Amino acid sequence: MVILTLNCGSSSVKYQLYDWDERRILATGMVERVTQPGSVITHKTSGKDEFVREKDCPDHRVAIELIQEAIVDPSHGAITSIEDVKAVGHRVVHGGEKFSKSVLVDDSVLAAFREIQDLAPLHNPANIMGIEAARTALPDVPHCAIMDTAWHQTMPQSSYMYALPYSWYEKYGVRRYGFHGTSFLYTAKRAAVLLGKDPFETNVIVAHVGNGSSINAVKNGCSFDTSMGLTPLEGLVMGTRSGDMDPAIPFYLTNICGIAIDEVERALNKKSGLLGITEEFVDRRDIQKAAEKGNKKAQLAIEMEAYRIRKYIGSYTAALGKVDALVFTAGVGERGALIRELAAQGLDVMGIKLDPRKNNVSITKNAETIISTDDSPTKIFVIPTDEELVMTEDTYAIMAGTYDVHTNFTYSFQTADYMNQERNGCVDQDVDKFDGLESILAFPPSPAGTVNPEDCE
């Protein structure tokens, strides 16, 4: 069964084509600059050269048509006919309180997404456009929605409520929802595997650190608290988002300084965070290089990002009482050794002890590693996330009639012998590249996972 997953942003569509029967990725890619001049698709079929094509995509419908053309192209495609696609899974950022698990999309589900789209104005409208476009382009296959917020529906009211007039929650849905749910689900359940514990007897803290960042306290295998709130703006210092701040700042800027409210909102989401502090950089690699050359703002940005993560780890350790593992994931969490080291500084008193040597060689996105000291009461793992697999598996299970909320459902990756073929086949190259990496692998690579070296990053 071939499943297509789509992640539609306001100006991009990221996709993956997956063969469920063979448990392997057939193709991946992204269409960028959707609705803008100079649209381009970058497509990669396993075992073939990367393909890049420019074509104007005035809307998401044209972008998805472009994806269809790429995946069936005789030269660089992955399947012979679009009819080989039997289901489509869609990422939806905000499901509000209406959805506690992934669902089959119908008109009523789309209507529910439209009702709450103002809760995620930068994300949900694009998600909805993508679903509508895909249903038009692929009308004869089932479409499923996988919500970022669903994972967090287990949070207690004391975690998700704000100390605001209760009527705002009742009338307007003002509460903490949390995001990055598919990433947290995957990494929390993989952490339980690495610990050799029942996931529902496991407490972990997961730091998803990328351009968008959030952190999740997982108690007895379920989301207990998280840093993002009503929208993805709250919490950690991010690439262009401010994270936590005094909520009176927008009033001060608009009422006293005379800045228009829409300009303030745009700045908080797109001109703040690391970009706001450095006034120049978003990519952590650029920031680190600048800091090493003496750039004071870059140095400050690194310190602020790491401190915010460390502060949340400390507060969530207090909230959970006992923490079995601290997990780093996503682009920076997986390969940003400096941020991990600084974020873990001073946590020894809480039983969270990072080994600097292990941390410095854990810069692979292909393997799960252990970077805590041997005597650390709390393990520290680096677990590459796999949101696409969660989307694919939810979609398949919905089609098969076996799907349920994660507390009543077991994923294929919840076993010690689970293997991501593509990543596993690249580990040997990483071991050759990074001296000492092999000694910190949670599981040794299996020869069965060998892939084309050109497919490894």
285-324 pLDDT tens trace: 999 999 999 999 999 999 999 999 999 999 999 999 999 9
Whether 161 is covered by a domain: the verdict is no
CB atoms within 10 A of CB 348: 12
- Which amino acid is present at 361? V
Q: Please report, for residues 95, 193, 240, 420, the alpha-carbon distance to residue 448 in angstroms, rounded to integers and kept in the order given.
A: 39, 21, 41, 10
Give yes or no: residues 353 and 227 share one domain: yes
CA-CA distance, 405 to 403, in Å (whole number)? Answer: 7
29 DSSP β-pair partners: 15, 43
Q: How many CA atoms within 13 Å lie on the side-chain side of 216?
A: 35
Q: Note the pLDDT of residue 98.
A: 87
**Residue 143 sits in which domain range?**
2-147
Give yes or no: residues 143 and 32 share one domain: yes
Of 21, 56, 84, 148, the catalytic one is 148
CA-CA distance, 134 to 139, in Å (whole number)? Answer: 8
Does residue 132 come out as left (phi exceeding 0), alpha (psi in the -120 to 50 range) or beta? alpha
Q: Report yes or no: 31 and 57 within 8 Å, Cβ to Cβ.
A: yes
Give yes or no: residues 132 and 197 share one domain: no
Q: Note the pLDDT of residue 162.
A: 98
Give yes or no: residues 269 and 342 share one domain: yes
Final residue before a domain boundary, out of 147, 170, 201: 147
- Which amino acid is present at 402? T
10: confidence class by pLDDT, cuts 50, 70, 90: confident
What six digits make up the tokens of 359? 């941390």
Give yes or no: residues 186 and 143 share one domain: no
Torsion of the alpha carbons at 265, 154, 354 and 347, rounded to the nearest 10: 80
What is the per-residue pLDDT across 201-248, written as a single tens digit (0 to 9) for each? Answer: 999 999 999 999 999 999 999 999 999 999 999 999 999 999 999 999
Indicate the burial class of 305 (C-beta count within 10 angstroms; 0-12, 13-18, 19 or more). buried
Give yes or no: residues 91 and 199 share one domain: no
Q: Report yes or no: 250 and 261 within 8 Å, Cβ to Cβ.
A: yes
What does the buried/exposed string (b/e) look like for 352-364 if buried means 16 or more CB atoms within 10 Å of the residue's CB? bbbbeebbebbbb
pLDDT greater than 90 at residue 423: no
**What end-to-end distance do the CA atoms of the chain give, in Å?**
27
What six digits make up the tokens of 274? 């690391």
What is the per-residue pLDDT across 145-202, written as a single tens digit (0 to 9) for each? Answer: 999 999 999 999 999 999 999 999 999 999 999 999 999 999 999 999 999 999 999 9
CA-CA distance, 437 to 78, in Å (whole number)? Answer: 33
Q: Note the pLDDT of residue 453.
A: 57
**How many structural domains is the chain composed of?**
2
Has 435 been annotated as catalytic? no
